[in-house]
Each structure stands twice: as C-alpha cells, then as structure tokens.
C-alpha cells in the first residue's frame, strides 16, 4: 500500500515538473519530447529490421539465428554480431567477379588469419570491406599465401582504385610457399608488396620454416585457449614439380576434436605426400582442394579426413578453364568422391550468362563454432549443392545423394 502511494506521489510530481517545464521553457520541452519520440521510433524500426543501428544491438536482445539462412546477398547486423561472438569463425569469401579463386578469413577472438586473396587484383575491393567488418582493429595477425597463382595472390596487390590487402591492413606474420616457378607480373608485384610490409615491421616465413620451427617460425601457433593453427608437411615444400598447385601451403586448424583442413590447390601428388607425412585426423571441414577440380580431393585424402562439411571456392559452372564439364568446377569426379562422406557441400559463386557473368550461389559461407558446436551460415542461402538447380541441370546425382 505504502509503495503504491509513493509511486502515485512520484508520478504526480513528475507530471507537475513536466507541466512547469513546459510553461517555463516551451522550446526545451518541445526538444525533449522530440528526442524521446525519435529514440523510441529508432528502437522500434531497428527491432523490426526496417533500419539497422549496430549500436542498439548491445541493448536490444537479439533472436538467435545461428542456423537460419540470410537471404539477399548480405549478412544482417544480427548475423555479424553472432559470428563475431562465436569462439571461431571460418569465412569463404565471394570475390566480386566472375573468376574462380580463394580467399578465406579465420577469426578467433581478436586474432584474424587471411588465407589467400584471389581471384583478380580488383577482388581487393570486395575482400577488404568484408574483412573490415570482422577485423575492426585493422590488424591481420597472420596472412597465408598458399601458392603463387593469380587466383590466390592478386588481391594482396590490388589496383589503383582498390587498395591491396597488404596496404589495407597491418599484416603481422606472413607465411607463404617455399617454392614457385612463377615469373608473372602479379607474382612480382606480390613479392614487392610483401617485402614492403616486411620493411614496415611484418615478419615473413615460409611453410617449411614453420614445419621446421626454423628462423623464428613455429609449426604450431596457439590462437586462443584450445585453438591451434598447425602447419603440415608435404614434399613439394622442398622438391620441384611442374604443377604450381602442388607447392600449396597446407594448414590444419584444431579446436579439441574439431579439425578444419586447408590445402590450397594441392593436387593428387601433393595430397599423397600430405597423407604420407602427417597423422591426419577426421575433419569437420575441408576446403575443397583446387576449387573442386577432378585432380584434387582424392580418395586417398578423403579416406583419412572423412569431411562433414566441404566448401568449394569457385564460380560454379564457369568455362574459364574450358567448357568441357570435366573442367568446370565443381567437377563430377569431385562430387562423386565427396558424396561418399557428406552431402553438406557449399559453393560461393555461380556463373551466369548475362554480361555481369556471376551471381551468388551460397554467397559468403561462414562456419562458426561455439563450445565445439558447429553451424553453417551463408549470406545468400544455405541450399546444399545437390539441391541447387545448377546441380540438377549439370551433374549426375551420385548414389549416396539420392
């Protein structure tokens, strides 16, 4: 009773103060009322997702959309907050053009790793803004370039209009391929920009330095409690080959029993050497070898890693490497081998016949892990490869997927 009386008194007092203020300072009163209406209005519009004010996410409880598709080609601010808050996130990026290539961002707390920056120099204009959403301090703690082909290193260089990754971020530790036979202009520019970053304070190791724990490099880097980045060995770190792809740097990311494998564009011989020289565990995630080509993701490797999720970085169905179906990614041979282990296959981009030449397939694909629970989230949609129209029109459905 006493409480109610006091509450009534307080309300009456507040009303009296408001009336007095309105009389004494009519303009001030009007401004205050306007401000309150504006703030409440913004909160309602933000909650209904009509407008987005990231700042408000801290104060308005968000629904958990961890396994829900985000349609429309971009992540919502709720998606981005949930991804940032996860223990670990792995992002397979779209590259802003019709060319196949790789760029993978890994985020563990405030530590970011960027593996490759393909597919062309103008991809820097797509990769940098995407990465900045998640790497807010402008520092990439680790940059890995798997091999010297343009579809993996061009974005590090950039163009006049689109500043390259080396210049857009402070890159602390750069790890790349010990061997290459490339003499291309883009490779030379890559070396120039990389060395400029080293002049500015970055450290540079090869994957062989890492494997050997040599020159200050480490085979294993601890990224946070229980999450490690482990460089693997394959013989083409120190043996010449005619296939540039086989020089690829290979890395295993581990969180307890959850493992995630990245092998660049490693081909059959490289994969055989990888299997021979490392105790490969079963993997939650495998970045499809060489964009889903027929000559990678071999049975010898898949038998060991038995992947649960496979992400293909390519412009699906593009005739960039010839129009024959066996040369368009992801290939039938790849699909047939992967189908033995999983149907959870995702693809970033889709080739189109219009003058733009590409659109999103799944879009940017993000794998998150929280306390070991793994979820997939895609910026366009999370349709499995086997359920896409492109697959139905262009590939035979292997028996395990039927």
Q: Which residues bind Zn ion (CB under 5 A)?
A: 151, 265
Least gap, CB of 151 to Zn ion (angstroms): 4
Least gap, CB of 245 to Zn ion (angstroms): 7
Nearer to Zn ion among residue 135 and residue 153 (C-beta): 153
Nearer to Zn ion among residue 313 and residue 378 (C-beta): 313
The tokens for 249 are 């740097």
State the residue for tokens 């070396």: 191
Query: How far is residue 98 from each of residues 40, 350, 351, measured CA to CA in Å?
Result: 44, 8, 7
Least gap, CB of 193 to Zn ion (angstroms): 19
Least gap, CB of 51 to Zn ion (angstroms): 40
Nearer to Zn ion among residue 118 and residue 164 (C-beta): 118
**Surface-to-core class of residue 89, CB atoms within 10 Å of its CB (0-12 exposed, 13-18 middle, 19+ buried):** buried
Nearer to Zn ion among residue 112 and residue 116 (C-beta): 116
Least gap, CB of 250 to Zn ion (angstroms): 14
| Dist CA 313 CA 288 (whole Å) | 8
Query: How far is residue 301 from each of residues 81, 261, 263, measured CA to CA in Å?
Result: 35, 11, 11
Contact present, 105 and 114 (Cβ < 8 Å) = yes
| Dist CA 230 CA 358 (whole Å) | 34
Least gap, CB of 113 to Zn ion (angstroms): 18
| Dist CA 284 CA 260 (whole Å) | 6
**Surface-to-core class of residue 277, CB atoms within 10 Å of its CB (0-12 exposed, 13-18 middle, 19+ buried):** middle
Nearer to Zn ion among residue 179 and residue 382 (C-beta): 179
Nearer to Zn ion among residue 79 and residue 151 (C-beta): 151
Contact present, 386 and 367 (Cβ < 8 Å) = no
Nearer to Zn ion among residue 202 and residue 351 (C-beta): 351
Closest CA to 391 of 315, 330, 312: 330
Nearer to Zn ion among residue 141 and residue 265 (C-beta): 265
Nearer to Zn ion among residue 151 and residue 209 (C-beta): 151
Least gap, CB of 119 to Zn ion (angstroms): 8
Contact present, 274 and 232 (Cβ < 8 Å) = yes
Closest CA to 347 of 331, 336, 333: 331
Least gap, CB of 234 to Zn ion (angstroms): 16
| Dist CA 123 CA 128 (whole Å) | 8
Least gap, CB of 313 to Zn ion (angstroms): 8
Report, in angstroms and rounded to the nearest whole number, the Rg of the chain calculated over CA atoms.
25
């Amino acid at each position: 009773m006493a409480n109610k009386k006091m509450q009534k008194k307080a309300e009456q007092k507040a009303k009296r103060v408001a009336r007095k203020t309105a009389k004494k300072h009519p303009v001030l009163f009007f401004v205050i009322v306007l401000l309150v209406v504006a703030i409440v209005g913004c909160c309602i519009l933000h909650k209904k997702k009509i407008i987005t004010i990231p700042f408000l996410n801290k104060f308005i409880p968000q629904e958990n959309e961890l396994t829900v598709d985000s349609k429309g080609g971009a992540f919502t601010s709720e998606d981005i907050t949930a991804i940032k808050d996860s223990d670990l996130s792995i992002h397979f990026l779209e590259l802003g053009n019709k060319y196949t290539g790789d760029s993978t961002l890994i985020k563990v707390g405030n530590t970011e790793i960027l593996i490759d920056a393909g597919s062309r120099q103008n991809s820097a204009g797509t990769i940098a803004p995407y990465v900045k959403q998640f790497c807010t301090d402008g520092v990439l703690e680790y940059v890995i370039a798997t091999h010297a082909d343009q579809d993996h290193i061009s974005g590090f260089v950039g163009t006049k209009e689109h500043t390259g990754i080396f210049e857009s971020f402070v890159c602390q530790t750069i790890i790349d391929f010990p061997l290459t036979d490339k003499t291309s202009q883009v490779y030379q520019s890559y070396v120039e920009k990389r060395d400029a970053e080293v002049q500015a304070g970055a450290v540079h190791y090869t994957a062989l330095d890492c494997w050997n724990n040599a020159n200050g490099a480490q085979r294993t880097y601890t990224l946070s409690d229980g999450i490690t980045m482990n460089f693997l060995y394959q013989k083409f770190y120190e043996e010449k080959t005619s296939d540039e792809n086989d020089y690829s740097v290979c890395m295993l990311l581990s969180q307890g029993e959850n493992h995630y494998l990245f092998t660049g564009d490693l081909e059959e011989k490289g994969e055989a050497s990888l299997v021979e020289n490392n105790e490969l565990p079963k993997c939650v995630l495998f970045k499809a070898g060489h964009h889903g080509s027929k000559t990678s993701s071999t049975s010898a490797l898949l038998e060991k890693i038995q992947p649960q999720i496979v992400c293909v970085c390519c412009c699906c169905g593009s005739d960039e490497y010839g129009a024959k179906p066996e040369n368009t990614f992801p290939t039938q041979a790849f699909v047939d081998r992967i189908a033995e282990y999983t149907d959870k296959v995702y693809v970033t981009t889709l080739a189109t016949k219009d003058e733009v030449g590409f659109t999103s397939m799944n879009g940017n694909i993000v794998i998150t892990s929280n306390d070991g629970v793994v979820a997939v989230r895609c910026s366009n949609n999370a349709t499995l490869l086997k359920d896409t129209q492109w697959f139905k029109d262009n590939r035979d459905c292997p028996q395990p997927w039927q």
